[in-house]
Amino acid sequence: MTDDPVLLTGAGGRVGRAILQGIGADHEWRLLDRESIRLDRLPDAVADAERVIGDVTDEAAVRDAIRGVSAVIHLAGDPRPEAPWDSVVTNNIDGTQTVFAAAAAADIDRVAFASSNHAVGAYETADLTPGIYRPEDEFRLDGSELPRPSNLYGVSKAAGEALGRYYHDTEDLSVACVRIGNLTEGHPPRNYERGQAMWLSHRDCAHLFDRCLHADYGFEIVYGISANERRYYSIKRAREVLGYDPQDDSAEYHLDGTQKA
Amino acid sequence: MTDDPVLLTGAGGRVGRAILQGIGADHEWRLLDRESIRLDRLPDAVADAERVIGDVTDEAAVRDAIRGVSAVIHLAGDPRPEAPWDSVVTNNIDGTQTVFAAAAAADIDRVAFASSNHAVGAYETADLTPGIYRPEDEFRLDGSELPRPSNLYGVSKAAGEALGRYYHDTEDLSVACVRIGNLTEGHPPRNYERGQAMWLSHRDCAHLFDRCLHADYGFEIVYGISANERRYYSIKRAREVLGYDPQDDSAEYHLDGTQKA
């Protein structure tokens, strides 16, 4: 790592705030968001960080924002699972292509891309659920499986992963695609077995993206969840290749979200 | 199968012409292309078939064209491996979404989608080639592997496959994605080991899409190549699930394309 900043796209969103809360003080940052108001309420640790207002679908804005950075964490996009096609094809697919292309053109070494559990949500068929959400079940998705999106947002994330693979293979960019689970602050989702199975705590989220900035890898698809006993996503690859060492487990909480004694 | 027509998008392209040459007389057709001139020079067998001029990115045009068909073979898109992003995101990704969405809305049973070898072209790394193009080599891709596109056209085809998976899982549409190899008429590509390994003859192409119209399947990704001795794509799944029974093999030709005695 150099002292050049890390470009964080979509910095003002939920994932961006979790990352900055955890590792805001550990890196120099260039924070990109399309709405300035979202950059006004970030953690104190990045109070002095560079801020850029711009849209990832704007090639010139991305080209300017990427100049001189050491790495990119690309979170920007429409985050709604129910987002309509017109939005995800523009903000998520075209936006991600714009970021990867600019990173390759600027000779950036690595891009960590926020993919999603929705890229594989349709593996959760009626005959597998709710069994796979329970501790005793050994079903695991590990990132080597083909996409099975549960919505058009998930299709857009699968397309982003394919773009990442392409830019890795042809432009020698290191690309980590993190299929983010259910990110909540403080405690796992309440009374929601599935959400607890794919819980990602804020500190584990920040740590995982920190590993994406430090570890040595080529192209990876990993699951971004805490060390949940209930999990049906493997975190083996994230542990082995990225050195991910999650601290949290939804089993430390009751089903209603209160912490066990 | 009913007597309702099969909608063939991109009917005037190379793949469309190969299909119509082989099975033009076996189905009723609705032939869609965005250029009328391309529909004027189709095989005699479809001289009386219904013709529709329209672009697959035009939702209303696709909705009209899909009304009352028994199935869709979706070929339309920018076919150039070197096509720029702006074209493939519009014509191939958005166009394919438009076709799948219209098919689902119209309660069509099945869509066969022309994917491409370029969705996985980057598996052909420097250390594997040219070995995998040779008869004695046992390396096989079988359709269960993650995409590794060799260009942005290949990314667009991977995205189309993910869309097909989504529409299968959520709308109960039968979807066959055919990763078409190197389609040439009469003889395999000349003096090109790779092209001979993934040769798809015109008659095998027509037969394979015919099987996509008749066989019973849910979601499939199969390779569209002839029974080439040199192949590094498996045709096992196409044989087993679709009943594909290819007649051609590039080994029946010399490397220069002339037929062996």
- State the pairing for strand pair B199-201/B182-184: parallel
Domains of chain A: 6-252 (3.40.50.720)
pLDDT at A257: 87
Q: Which of B144, B152, B165 sits opposite A166 (nearest CB)?
A: B152
Q: Which of B147, B166, B221 sits opposite A162 (nearest CB)?
A: B147
**A159/B150 Cβ within 8 A:** no
Q: Output the CA–CA distances (angstroms, integers) from residue B119 to B114, B122, B155, in the order listed.
A: 11, 8, 6
- Going by pLDDT thresholds of 50, 70 and 90, the confidence category of residue A2 is low
DSSP secondary-structure letter at A260?
A: P
Phi, psi for residue A79 in degrees, rounded to 5: -90, 0
B96 pLDDT exceeds 70?
yes
- B217 is an active site residue: no
B152 pLDDT exceeds 60?
yes
**B166/A154 Cβ within 8 A:** yes
Q: Which of B93, B147, B166 sits opposite A165 (nearest CB)?
A: B147
**A159/B166 Cβ within 8 A:** no
Average pLDDT, chain A: 97
**What is the DSSP code string of A37-66?**
HHHTT--GGGTTSEEEE--TT-HHHHHHHH
A122 pLDDT exceeds 90?
yes
B81 pLDDT exceeds 60?
yes
Do residues A223 and A234 make contact, with C-beta atoms less than 8 angstroms apart?
yes
- Going by pLDDT thresholds of 50, 70 and 90, the confidence category of residue A3 is confident
Average pLDDT over residues A207-225: 98
CA dihedral angle for residue B55, residue B59, residue B65, residue B71, rounded to 10 degrees: 100
CA dist., res. A106 & res. A121, Å (int)? 34
Closest of A176, A191, A174 to residue A250, by C-alpha: A191
Average pLDDT, chain B: 97
Q: Interface of chain B against chain A, CB under 8 Å? A: 85, 89, 93-94, 97, 101, 119, 122, 144, 146-152, 154-155, 158-159, 162-163, 165-166, 169-170, 221
**Among B87, B98, B166, B222, which would you mutate to test the A interface (most chain A Cβ atoms within 10 Å of its Cβ)?**
B166
pLDDT at B57: 96
Instruction: Read off the pLDDT of residues B2-57 as tens digits, 9 standing for 90 and up.
Output: 689 999 999 999 999 999 999 999 999 999 999 999 999 999 999 999 999 999 99
**A162/B159 Cβ within 8 A:** yes
B93 pLDDT exceeds 90?
yes
Amino acid at A92: N
Q: Is B141 left (phi over 0), alpha (psi -120 to 50) or beta?
A: beta
Token pair 């790779």: residue: B194
Instruction: Read off the pLDDT of residues A31-90 as tens digits, 9 standing for 90 and up.
Output: 999 999 999 999 999 999 999 999 999 999 999 999 999 999 999 999 999 999 999 999
